[in-house]
């Protein structure tokens, strides 16, 4: 065959489009989304069916999870053991499922997010309701069986579930381009709503909600947007707002403890740890000062998170703050998407119930058709045996006179008497009149002699009457929809009575949480930052008592308001701002916090050259000097910004910011270069520019020279520095003009 004959030429974009659509539909239908009829994803269905096939019933011993996972993977689900075990684990967790389908033995995780033990350590078996409501009629040809992935086994395309499992247990899954998120509901309410629909198929969604009030999460909680639920169940999409349940406990000393006993459903898992961190952060960031201690006292008995409050705290206001600033009030996004008639569809409450009820009628029709056929077959044989008992002497004569089984059978079915020896002519005439059916003849030939005992014949007649009653009942169910509906509703009532439990989630119209932040009392504090970048604030009195030590140990010291901001200018021309409230306020000997922890400042990339309070800047001017001797004066109001980081000045390539000072009474500026040149000139020669300007040149530098230091003098004071072991009076340097080379000072 020519090689070219095997090449299929096609447009690349068309092939990609077709391949992606095929992949997407495979994920949607065969993996990620539940079927509306049984409420199960394929992996869940396969796990339950495999356990059923292995005989791991609710009344039998547990079996290793690894055995179940391996068998499921080998026979039905070749997508890896982790996805199978994860599905098994979720079906055991009573904090995720409204009605767990598997009874787990061992560590199957907990509500706080700890994962299950490895599958080799855990054991499982089916729950009783799973056996009775999900798998009971699989032997009655009620659903279609399809080949597995390698066509060596058969698996059910859907389980004959007798309750609307999609609503009871809900479902969550992410497919390609779509996702499903259906909350769990109360079994009793779901059954009541289903029966209401069966009695009146024209019932509306709102009328159904008289029976099904809303979601019933296994973790309890309080749904607070009751009035929005009808719209959500009408459209199949929306957001359910849910809060945790909070109680107040009075403890000694007049204090109140806030105790959280139920959590919002979306918070289960690792989000409990995140919640505790968020509550602690409220205290650390000074959002509240009411918290004394937080402890997680949760156990197998349930959730118990205790927050101890200060004596003068307002518990109601504090809880409202938790609703506002943590996930104690959360949102469950509803998207009731499921596979219906082979394709994904977003469905309303009524549509889901209708699909489940239609499936029940379909299953019941196939079940009772199958049962009727078996009863009709049993009836045929019973009638043959009763008839045979009435002429048993003739049948014995036929059997004794026949040469083989076929000859006897031909006589029983067709009345053929050739070759059979009869005792009398009358017997032969009677034998010729026999007309048993094929099945009846086989039953007669296989009948044991003890069946001729009087009591056995009486039992046979009673059995026939029972069979006739069953046939009448099954025919009535199949012919009259009302009778079938009654059978389905009776089963639903039995499940409701056996497995129904009270609602856990409260549904109400909750008031919007109103949290009034305590107004912070404004006060003057002293900002301290040492040369290692650790910053803190202390009150003014503490500073005055420790002034000498504070001045000696810290690089930047200035007063500020506790409600204000700190401005940090770096050698890279950046301005970083810090809220004073983000800094620790306390004792003089407290270490403080690194400023890079509370700002965008990076110790690896830049150095702080100046720090001041933002309130001080608003009233003053700043003088900027770079290492390449570029200078400018900028109005401090330009730095009144709320952003954490902005550009403080514009720098030429290779230049860095050397000095920033607030202008008070400075009269002269003295620039010192690395090569020993000094230039002294009046501050008034430096023009005022915008913060985005480069500035003007303050000193002419040699090709390899740069500024090393900047000094300032005032009119009323003498200033001196140590330069090369020499005492240098700055005022003794000749006063010159800006942009000159300056004078060289030698050692």
pLDDT-based confidence at 27, cuts 50/70/90? low
- Residue 516: the pLDDT is 66
CATH topology of domain 355-498: Topoisomerase; domain 3 (1.10.268)
- CA dist 465 and 617 (Å) reads 104
pLDDT digits (tens, 9 = 90+) for 593-606: 899 888 888 888 89
CATH topology of domain 245-327: Gyrase A; domain 2 (3.30.1360)
Tokens coding 434: 């026999």
Residues 6+ apart with CB under 8 A from 201: 354
Residue 25, pLDDT above cutoff 70 = no
Distance separating the N- and C-terminal Cα atoms of the chain: 98
Spatial CA neighbour of 293 closest among 301, 305, 275 = 305
pLDDT-based confidence at 626, cuts 50/70/90? very high
- Residue 41: the pLDDT is 92
pLDDT digits (tens, 9 = 90+) for 529-579: 998 899 999 989 999 999 999 999 999 999 998 888 999 999 999 999 998
506-507 and 222-223 strand pairing: parallel
Q: At what angle do helices 392-401 and 425-432 cross, to 10 degrees?
A: 100
Question: Does domain 524-744 sit in CATH 2.40.160.10?
Answer: no
- Residue 704: the pLDDT is 87
Q: Rounded to whole angstroms, what are the CA distances from 372 to 140, 270, 413, 459, 479?
A: 11, 54, 25, 21, 12
677-682 and 743-744 strand pairing: antiparallel
3-class state of residue 261 by DSSP: strand
Q: Where are the domains of the chain?
A: 40-160, 245-327, 355-498, 524-744
- Quick one: average pLDDT of 495-516? 86
pLDDT-based confidence at 747, cuts 50/70/90? low
Residue 3, pLDDT above cutoff 60 = no
- Residue 129: the pLDDT is 95
Q: Angle at the Cα of 629 (from 736 to 668), degrees rounded to 5?
A: 40
- Residue 688: the pLDDT is 92
- Residue 305: the pLDDT is 92
How does the average pLDDT of the chain come out, rounded? Answer: 89
pLDDT digits (tens, 9 = 90+) for 433-491: 888 888 888 888 888 777 667 667 788 889 999 999 999 999 999 999 999 999 999 99
Query: What phi, psi does 608 have (nearest 5°)?
Result: -80, 125
For the question of whether the overall pTM of this predicted structure is more than 0.75, the answer is no
Residue 494, pLDDT above cutoff 70 = yes
Query: What phi, psi does 250 have (nearest 5°)?
Result: -85, 130
**What are all long-range contacts of 591-596, with beta carbons under 8 Å and residues at least 24 apart?**
591/534, 591/536, 592/528, 592/529, 592/530, 592/534, 592/535, 592/536, 593/534, 593/535, 593/536, 594/532, 594/533, 594/534, 594/535, 595/529, 595/533, 595/534, 595/535, 595/568, 596/533
Which residues form the catalytic set? 121
Contact 110, 48 (CB under 8 A): no
- CA dist 607 and 601 (Å) reads 9
Reported residue count of the chain is 747
Contact 536, 585 (CB under 8 A): yes
Tokens coding 426: 């009358």
pLDDT-based confidence at 68, cuts 50/70/90? very high
- CA dist 483 and 493 (Å) reads 15
3-class state of residue 73 by DSSP: helix
DSSP element (H, E) containing 247: strand 245-251
- Residue 598: the pLDDT is 87
pLDDT digits (tens, 9 = 90+) for 229-244: 999 999 999 999 999 9
- Residue 715: the pLDDT is 66
621-626 and 630-635 strand pairing: antiparallel
Match 């082979």 to its residue by tokens: 342
pLDDT digits (tens, 9 = 90+) for 679-694: 999 999 999 999 889 9
> What CATH architecture is 40-160?
Alpha-Beta Complex (3.90)
Contact 488, 195 (CB under 8 A): no
């Amino acid at each position: 065959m020519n090689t070219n004959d095997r090449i299929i030429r096609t447009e690349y974009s068309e092939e990609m489009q077709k391949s992606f659509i095929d992949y997407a539909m495979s994920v949607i239908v065969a993996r990620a989304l539940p079927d509306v009829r049984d409420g199960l994803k394929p992996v869940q269905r396969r796990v339950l069916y495999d356990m059923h096939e292995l005989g791991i019933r609710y009344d039998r011993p547990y079996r290793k999870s690894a055995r179940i996972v391996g068998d499921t993977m080998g026979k039905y689900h070749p997508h890896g053991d982790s996805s199978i075990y994860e599905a098994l684990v979720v079906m055991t967790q009573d904090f995720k499922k409204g009605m767990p389908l598997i009874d787990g033995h061992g560590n199957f995780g907990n509500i706080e997010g700890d994962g299950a033990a490895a599958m080799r350590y855990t054991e499982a078996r089916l729950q009783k309701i799973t056996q009775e409501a999900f798998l009971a009629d699989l032997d009655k040809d009620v659903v279609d069986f399809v080949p597995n992935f390698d066509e060596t086994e058969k698996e059910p395309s859907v389980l004959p579930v007798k309750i609307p499992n999609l609503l009871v247990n809900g479902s969550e899954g992410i497919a390609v381009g779509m996702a499903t998120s259906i909350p769990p509901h109360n079994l009793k309410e779901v059954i009541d709503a289903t029966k209401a629909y069966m009695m009146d198929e024209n019932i509306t969604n709102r009328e159904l909600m008289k029976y099904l009030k809303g979601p019933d999460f296994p973790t309890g909680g309080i749904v607070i947007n009751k009035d929005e639920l009808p719209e959500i169940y009408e459209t199949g999409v929306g957001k359910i707002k849910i809060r945790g349940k909070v109680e107040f406990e009075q403890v000694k000393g007049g204090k109140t403890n806030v105790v959280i006993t139920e959590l919002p459903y979306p918070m289960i898992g690792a989000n409990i740890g995140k919640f505790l961190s968020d509550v602690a952060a409220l205290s650390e960031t000074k959002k509240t000062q009411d918290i004394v201690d937080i402890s997680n006292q949760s156990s197998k008995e349930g959730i118990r998170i205790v927050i101890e409050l200060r004596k003068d705290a307002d518990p109601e206001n504090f809880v409202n703050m938790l609703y506002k600033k943590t996930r104690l009030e959360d949102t469950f996004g509803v998207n009731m998407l499921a596979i219906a008639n082979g394709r994904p569809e977003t469905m309303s409450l009524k549509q889901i119930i209708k699909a489940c009820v239609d499936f029940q009628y379909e299953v019941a029709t196939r079940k009772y058709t199958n049962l009727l056929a078996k009863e009709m077959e049993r009836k045929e044989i019973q009638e043959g045996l009763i008839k045979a008992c009435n002429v048993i002497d003739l049948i014995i004569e036929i059997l004794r006179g026949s040469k083989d089984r076929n000859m006897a059978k031909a006589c029983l079915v067709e009345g053929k008497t050739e070759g059979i020896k009869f005792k009398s002519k009358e017997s032969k005439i009677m034998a010729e009149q026999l007309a048993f059916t094929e099945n009846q003849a086989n039953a007669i030939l296989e009948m044991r002699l003890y069946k001729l005992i009087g009591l056995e014949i009486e039992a046979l007649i009673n059995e026939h009457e029972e069979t006739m009653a069953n046939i009448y009942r099954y025919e009535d169910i199949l012919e009259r929809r009302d009778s079938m509906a009654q059978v389905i509703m009776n089963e639903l009532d039995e499940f409701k009575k056996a497995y129904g439990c009270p609602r856990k989630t409260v549904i109400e119209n909750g008031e919007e949480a109103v949290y009034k932040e305590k107004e912070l009392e404004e006060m003057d504090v002293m900002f301290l930052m040492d040369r290692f970048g650790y910053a803190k604030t202390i009150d003014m009195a503490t500073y005055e008592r420790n002034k000498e030590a504070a001045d000696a140990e810290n690089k930047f010291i200035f007063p500020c308001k506790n409600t204000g901001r700190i401005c940090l200018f770096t050698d890279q021309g950046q301005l970083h701002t810090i809220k004073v409230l983000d800094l620790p306020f306390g004792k003089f000997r407290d270490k403080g916090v690194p400023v890079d922890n509370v700002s965008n400042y990076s110790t690896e990339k830049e150095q702080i050259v100046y720090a001041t309070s933002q309130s001080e800047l608003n009233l003053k001017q700043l003088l900027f000097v770079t290492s390449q001797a570029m200078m400018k004066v900028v109005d401090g109001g330009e730095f009144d910004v709320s952003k954490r980081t902005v550009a403080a000045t514009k720098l030429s390539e290779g230049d860095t910011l050397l000095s920033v000072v607030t202008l008070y009474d400075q009269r002269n500026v003295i620039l010192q270069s690395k090569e020993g040149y000094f230039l002294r000139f009046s501050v008034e020669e430096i023009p005022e520019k915008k913060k985005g300007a480069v500035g003007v040149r303050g000193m002419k530098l040699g090709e390899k020279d740069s500024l090393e230091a900047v000094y300032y003098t005032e009119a009323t004071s003498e200033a001196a520095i140590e330069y090369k072991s020499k005492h240098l009076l700055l005022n003794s340097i000749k006063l010159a003009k800006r942009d000159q080379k300056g004078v060289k000072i030698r050692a």
